Chain A
Amino acid sequence: MLLPISWLRTLVDLEGIDNDTIEKSLFSCGLEVEERALFVGDVQGVVVGELLSVCKMENSEHLQICRVNCGTYGEDIQIVTGASNIKAGDRVPVALHGATVYGKEGKVVTIKNGKLLGTPSNGMLCSGEELGIDDDWYEGAGVYGILILAPDAPIGADVREVLELNDEVWDISVTANLPHCQSVWGIARELSALLNREAQEPVLDYTATAEGKENISVTVEAPDLCPRYIAHYVKDIRIAPSPCWMRRRLILTGHKPINTVVDITNYVLTELGQPMHAFDLSTLAGEKIVVRRARDGEPITTLDEHEFRLTEENLVICDAEKPVALAGVMGGLNSEIRPDTSEVLFECAKFMRDNIRRTSRALGQSSDSSRRYEKGVDEYTTERAIARALHLVQELKCGTVTTTHVDCRAAAPVPTVITTTFEKINGVLGIEVPRREIISILERMNYDVIAVDDLITVTAPGYREDIEDYPDLAEDVIKMYGYEHITPRLMEGSAITAGGYSLLQSQTLAAKEALVRQGFFELINYSFYSEEELALLRLPEGDPRLNAVRIENPLSEKYGIMRTTLIPSLLGIVSHNGKRGHEDGRFFELANIFTPSGKKGVLPTERQTLTLALWGKEESFFTAKGALEALGDTFGLTFTYERGAEPFLHPGATARVFLGGEEIGILGQVSYECVADFEILGGVFLCELNYEALSAHFPELIRYTPIPKFPSVTRDLALVADEQVSCGEITEVIRSACKSVTEVRLFDVYRSEQIGAGKKSMAFGLTFTPTGDTPLSGEAVDKFVEKILKSLAYRLQIAIR
């Protein structure tokens, strides 16, 4: 909210306290000053000048050459102007070389000495608009042409002084728990308590000087949404501009002055934080107010000429026939104050925070009123605000206050009383704030306090609807006492708890480290991407990965769906790196993928997925496979593979990855089509694993297996096999033929004419390990080899070379 410091200083005695101290004080109350701005602060270096002479420029139709006396800034300065409303002897604002003023569309421009049509011009005479003001601020500032100042304006004086522009306006961020600080008075009240300075509440007294109208009636049909509605009838309305002081305060707080009646409602809103509305009584059918839920489809046109169709969710203010205002948000066009309005019904009500918020959101319509109601308005202030408005009517002499005052309330507000102990209050804080200090603080904050020994009973002030329990009191106390009294202490009275990573969490870190050691960079990508990115994988209709969790309100289609596979993200990263001049890279990401539950209200499934991408000249299917195997080996795991297929992978270089018989992922080379779609140069190899399935196989505990008493024996076999026979099949046959084989390692493959077309020679190194208490003899191993060869010949038609 905007807070003019001059206004603040009229409500609380801040004599001798500078603005920096005020800012610090507000800060310690939880009111952060986001910006301290000088009103029209961009107007700088403009001084009062007296026009010595004004004469037409010879070679121009409308330019005039002025000689200006700016006192100490120069007693005879030549300035060319295009304005015609000036004459010698006028005192005018002069922007000298280096000054800044507002140009077209409020842009800040710097004035420089120069020439106009060859004639030197050493500055600029300013209009009100160029100084950021109009007639509402200063009489005559709205004129088309140069702003003519008072004849006694001191020559050479800064116009900021002369036009009374030197007001600081602060933008203060008020958190949702402090609705009572959403006004100039609210902040004054808080500062008064903190600084222990006198605050002067705005004057509320008024006298009803005329009989009202008996027939004016108010009915609240929705007391749940409108617990309080006060209406007061004012007649003999005189619509006119408000006085200068009021207009200026409204301008400083961002309102446009309109007329006495409307300005009073805005003034009260800013001063006390209570939104008000004024109806032209002559437009209210039956001189009647009904507060009710709108009917489905009921239309209303608001003051700003927007038409809405309402629902039962919206609260409306109606006359005997039709809605005349969207409660708490904006008045209706049909009941607005006009220049000829003679009778007014002021509305001062409490509408429920949540309902106003919902209506404002649903209709996309907000106003100063709705923004205030959304934070919460208290009934205590509602009662005072109507009195304040009537006082202002009398002060501005813009109407006759009548006796017709209708006050509808659901129930009298019950003051919040809390009985607790000093010990509990201090128990929240962890320090001993002296009892008399607690009492003094709470009393300064307008609590009624009764303290007997350790027991303390407080009644919260009527405007504090946020107070519920003793922690709220603790918060108020420490705010005023000062957070600097809190001293860091480390859980002295607390239980010792065992902390640290779970086994799986540690293993996950180890898995990541294992990949990092192999040259992988960890990625973190957004959990969402676009349907287009996913479509680049060419998944066929019906593929489960196309069934994505959809975001209702994405920032853009770029982030429309939750990921069902991490592959598009990683390919996107590879592509990005290629475009940034890199030629290779290894990347991994461990993140959730999401599957819709298919049932409303049942949360989607989140499953951790590990994806590797290897890219560049040095990479191949086998470096990718090697990386996967090294990862597995970190946990003593061995994968098995079967030929597989994916629409985005090379049909000849795709493998399904198995662990303990369970399929846990896919490994392969990205297809040329897909690589092209992602605009990647060079080959990319991918592996995507179900991390939860993988990690389920991580060892829970390590048990030592005794090492064999006798050494292992190795034998090399060179086999000639048909081209179609895979290494995996051979390994499988070897292992099943002899249980003593503990390792089968392929170390060479070659093809030659000698071996024959369609054949290959494969060299395997076999390790035999003795199982029992006897060493392996050469003869025993020979027998094993014989058995293996027989099995190979029988099952795979393989011969030894």
Chain B
Amino acid sequence: MKEKLRACAAQIDEALAAVTCGEDLKQFHARFLGKGGVITALMKELGSYPKEERPAVGQMINSFKEEVLARFKAMESEVALREMQAKYERESVDITMPGVAHSVGALHPTSLIRAKLCEVFAGMGFRIYEGREIEDDYHNFTALNTPKDHPARDKQDTFYIEDDVMLRTHTSPGQIHCLETMKPPFKVVMPGKVFRCDDDATHAPMFHQIEGLVIDRHVTLCDLQGLLDTLAKAMFTDDTKTRFRPSYFPFTEPSVEVDVSCCECGGTGEGCRLCKGTGWIEILGGGVVNRRVIANCGLDPDEWTGLAFGAGLDRIGMLKYGINNIHLLYDGDKSVLRQFKK
């Protein structure tokens, strides 16, 4: 039997060396380890041995079989590894070829600014109120202390629907709606579309503003500057500064125009075209809510004080993104819109 096993081992060595793939392995298994295989045939010969020799011979064949099986398993792993490697090689890709695109769009730049400002104010306890685009005279003007034929109406060339109905010229009517419906103290910002009869290189007949209103017991001009300082820093950079100067809005007293240090030259003004050398750019207006407005809305102006402010969203966006023409915001050109991915 030893001889036979030795001869068999030689065959196995030869056969294993020839194995290159899974198919070869299968054949190897069938030839040596299968039911009709060489080793099984040797097992069957066991009966021809004397009874007392059988255990030893059987033992010999068994351990031979186990050894072959172990070698088979080892070869099986080796082949699997080799095949996997070949598969990887076959599937190797040119990683410089373009990706299969699932393209992503973008929000409108004015939406981005609007969302950013709303977040900043939300963090300071402001709710967000979205008003109407068509307003009546009372909310757009009269309740804001701008009665008919008031000279302040001049600056706001109005689109009329009928005598006392118009496209809102500013987001300020939102102040009146909030004062009428919200219970003080409250803080609210009101972003939205506004309309004025103006269409030239720097004006579009529709643009966006954001209005802010704080109603509380003791708010002051210092609080207003604190709020607007926070806004300016959030919108531009941490070292952005704000400056107040007197202005006039019928619905605030005192009223201020708010300049922020120029985002282009950092406030130095030197040779800066954006701020025309002044170091400041005008982006906001605001003030302490006029006592008449508070009284108009049924609150006691001796108990409640208010702050109001308004800014142009398109203008802030144009400054922040370096857009030089407001009409680009409304042309809907893909070449423009795709530049505003977050």
Q: What residues of chain A have their CB less than 8 Å away from a CB belonging to chain B?
A: 27-30, 175-178, 353-355, 357-358, 374-376, 427-431, 469, 471-472, 474-475, 478-479, 483-484, 486-502, 505, 509, 512-513, 515-528, 549-555, 559, 562, 572-573, 576-577, 580, 582, 585-587, 592, 594, 600-601, 603-604, 606
In the complex, what residues of B have CB within 8 A of residue A357's CB?
A: 149, 151
- With the chains together, A497 CA to B253 CA distance in Å? 24
In the complex, what residues of A have CB within 8 A of residue B243's CB?
A: 483-484
Nearest-CB residue, chain A, relative to B152: A176
Are B127 and A491 in touch, CB under 8 angstroms?
A: no
CB A472 to nearest CB in B, in angstroms, measures 6
Are A471 and B253 in touch, CB under 8 angstroms?
A: yes
- With the chains together, A458 CA to B189 CA distance in Å? 37
Having A357-B151, A490-B230, one finds 14 other A-B pairs with CB under 8 Å, namely A177-B250, A428-B288, A483-B246, A491-B219, A500-B128, A505-B128, A509-B115, A516-B106, A526-B204, A527-B193, A552-B159, A552-B161, A552-B162, A606-B132
Indicate whether A493 sits within 8 Å of B246 (C-beta atoms), given known contacts A471-B253, A601-B165. Answer: no
Are B132 and A555 in touch, CB under 8 angstroms?
A: no
Are B220 and A429 in touch, CB under 8 angstroms?
A: yes
Are A475 and B167 in touch, CB under 8 angstroms?
A: no
Return the CB mask of B167-193 against A: 1 if under 8 Å, else 0. 100000000000000000111000001
Indicate whether A488 sits within 8 Å of B218 (C-beta atoms), given known contacts A525-B330, A527-B167, A555-B199. Answer: no
Q: Is the interface of B mostly helix, strand, loop or mixed?
A: mixed
Of A495, A512, A551, which one neighbours B107 at CB under 8 angstroms? A512
CB B28 to nearest CB in A, in angstroms, measures 40
In the complex, what residues of B have CB within 8 A of residue A585's CB?
A: 334
- With the chains together, A305 CA to B247 CA distance in Å? 39
Are B229 and A577 in touch, CB under 8 angstroms?
A: no
Nearest-CB residue, chain B, relative to A472: B253
Q: Is B43 close to A, CB under 8 A?
A: no
Are A176 and B150 in touch, CB under 8 angstroms?
A: yes
Are B162 and A494 in touch, CB under 8 angstroms?
A: no
Q: Is B56 close to A, CB under 8 A?
A: no
In the complex, what residues of B have CB within 8 A of residue A501's CB?
A: 118, 122, 128
Are A497 and B330 in touch, CB under 8 angstroms?
A: no
Of A498, A525, A553, which one neighbours B332 at CB under 8 angstroms? A525
In the complex, what residues of A have CB within 8 A of residue B205's CB?
A: 526, 528, 555, 559
- With the chains together, A644 CA to B276 CA distance in Å? 58
- With the chains together, A551 CA to B229 CA distance in Å? 39
- With the chains together, A493 CA to B244 CA distance in Å? 22
CB A475 to nearest CB in B, in angstroms, measures 3
Are A479 and B223 in touch, CB under 8 angstroms?
A: no
In the complex, what residues of B have CB within 8 A of residue A520's CB?
A: 105
Q: Is B329 close to A, CB under 8 A?
A: yes
Cross-chain pair count, CB within 8 angstroms: 255
Q: Is B32 close to A, CB under 8 A?
A: no
- Some 13 contacts from A to B, beta carbons below 8 A apart, are A28-B245, A430-B220, A471-B290, A475-B254, A479-B254, A491-B227, A500-B127, A505-B128, A521-B332, A521-B334, A522-B105, A551-B159, A562-B134
Indicate whether A494 sits within 8 Å of B223 (C-beta atoms), given known contacts A475-B253, A580-B335. Answer: yes
B85-136 interface with A by 8 A CB criterion: 102-108, 110-111, 115, 118, 121-128, 130, 132-136
Q: Is B206 close to A, CB under 8 A?
A: yes
Task: Please name the 4 residue pairs, one residue from A and one from B, whose CB atoms are nearest each other, closest first.
Answer: A430-B220, A430-B222, A30-B246, A354-B149
Indicate whether A551 sits within 8 Å of B161 (C-beta atoms), given known contacts A491-B214, A502-B128. Answer: yes
Nearest-CB residue, chain A, relative to B204: A526
CB A607 to nearest CB in B, in angstroms, measures 11
- With the chains together, A650 CA to B137 CA distance in Å? 44
CB A422 to nearest CB in B, in angstroms, measures 14
Q: Is B236 close to A, CB under 8 A?
A: no
In the complex, what residues of A have CB within 8 A of residue B185's CB?
A: 494-495, 497
Are A430 and B221 in touch, CB under 8 angstroms?
A: yes
Indicate whether A553 sits within 8 Å of B160 (C-beta atoms), given known contacts A486-B225, A491-B219, A516-B105. Answer: yes
Nearest-CB residue, chain A, relative to B101: A519
Are B246 and A488 in touch, CB under 8 angstroms?
A: no
